[in-house]
Amino acid sequence: MLNLVLFGPPGAGKGTQSEKIIASYGLTHLSTGDLFRKHLGEGTALGALAKGFMDQGRLVPDEVVIQMVEDKIATTKDSKGFIFDGFPRTTAQAEALDAMLSKNGMKISGMIALEVPQAILKERILERGKTSGRVDDQEEAKINTRIQVYLDETLPVAAYYERQGKFHQIVGVGKIEEIFDQIAAVIDGY
C-alpha cells in the first residue's frame, strides 16, 4: 500500500498535484480541506468547530482533525493507499497518523514537499480567492497568518519525516506537468 504525505505551505499546489497523483496511482485522496467541507456541509459538530478556526485563518485543533481523518480511513479500508493533503500539519498530528496507520497495519511511504517562495504563494492564494469563495484566500492579513502558522507549526513536520528517511523536496514553481514528473520519479522509487 502506497501512503504519501503531500506537503507544502498554502498555495504551493498541493491540490493540483494531488489530482494528478490520484489519477496516475489510484490513491484515495485524504484532504483535510475536503473533510472540513464535508463536515461543514453536513452540519456536524466537528464541522462547526472547524469553521470557527478556519474563518480566523487559524489551524483547526489536532483532536478535531484527527477524528475526521480516522473516520475517513475507517470508511475506505479497501484503498490502494492514501495521499494525505494538508495533513499532518503538526508533529503531534504526524505521530497520531503514524499510530493510526500502524493500528491498521499501514505506514507512510514518504513525504513529498513542494517548495515555493512566499511572494509566489501570496499571489497564488489571492488569485485563487477570486473564485474559491474562501474567506481565508481573500484577505492578505489572513494569508500572512496562514503562512506564518505554516512556518511556525507545520514546517517541523518535514523534519519528523526527514528523520525517518521519508522526506523528498520538489520545487513547486514551473509547469504543472514538469512538477508532476519530478513527483512521479520520487513515487516510482518507493
At residue 17, does pLDDT exceed 80?
yes
**182: helix, strand or coil:** helix
Point out the residues that are catalytic.
14, 89, 128, 134, 146
Question: What are the pLDDT digits (tens) for 77-103?
Answer: 788 999 998 789 889 999 999 998 898
Question: What are the pLDDT digits (tens) for 115-170?
Answer: 999 899 989 988 888 888 787 888 888 888 888 888 888 889 999 999 999 999 99
**148: helix, strand or coil:** helix
Q: Which fold has domain 2-188?
A: Rossmann fold (3.40.50)
Q: Distance (Å, rounded) from C-alpha 190 to C-alpha 107?
A: 13
Mean pLDDT across the chain:
89
